[in-house]
Amino acid sequence: MNSHTHFLLPLLCALILFQFNLISWPLAILAGIIGILIDVDHYVEHILHAKTNRFSLRATWNNSIKLHRFQQRSFIHDGIGVVLLTVLMGISLFFNWQVVIVAAIGYYSHILLDYLHLNKERFLKSKILTFYLRESYFEITLDIIIILGIIIVLII
Ligand SMILES: [Zn+2]
């Protein structure tokens, strides 16, 4: 999934908590930002494995979207990483439960979206300058539904 979807879904979930006065609106936005930041490991993996343009954000982006020269997801995207972060968040709950809930929303929504692939997805592909863009029709539909959800939650 693309970064904007990784922002929108946790934002929607956190805004629901905001409407119930469980968290503040800056924390709701933080949930969306955390949803995006989980993919920072793509950049780290790019630095570790790329043969050329090691520190290039453009090369990292294009490898992730189109080229797929090597796996950019680190351990935090599955298996032991999910277990470790779940234990860490569980322990951290005793210190600041609101920040942990926000981090959990950002993290688990990210993992869910990354594994939410349909077998025969069709993609909308384009290129802006030197950046490849690719978004499935499923993701576009999902984005529209989430945005409508955000509007409804904010109106209620
Ligand atoms: Zn990811």
User: For the chain, give me the number of helices (H) and strands (E)?
Assistant: 7, 2
Please name the amino acid found at residue 148: L
Phi-psi region of 34 (alpha: psi -120 to 50; beta: other; left: phi over 0): alpha
66-76 pLDDT, tens digit each: 877 778 888 89
Average pLDDT, the chain: 92
Distance 70 CA to ligand 1 centre (A): 14
Distance 78 CA to ligand 1 centre (A): 10
Strands 131-136 and 123-128: antiparallel
Query: Does 119 score more than 70 pLDDT?
Result: no
Half-sphere exposure of 74 (CA within 13 A, CB side): 16
Distance 114 CA to ligand 1 centre (A): 5
**Arithmetic mean of pLDDT, 88-98:** 96
Percentage of residues in the chain having pLDDT higher than 70: 97
pTM passes above 0.85: yes
Distance 155 CA to ligand 1 centre (A): 30
Residue 51 near residue 57, CB atoms below 8 Å: no
Query: Does 125 score more than 90 pLDDT?
Result: no
**Arithmetic mean of pLDDT, 25-53:** 94
DSSP of 120-131: T--EEEEEETTE
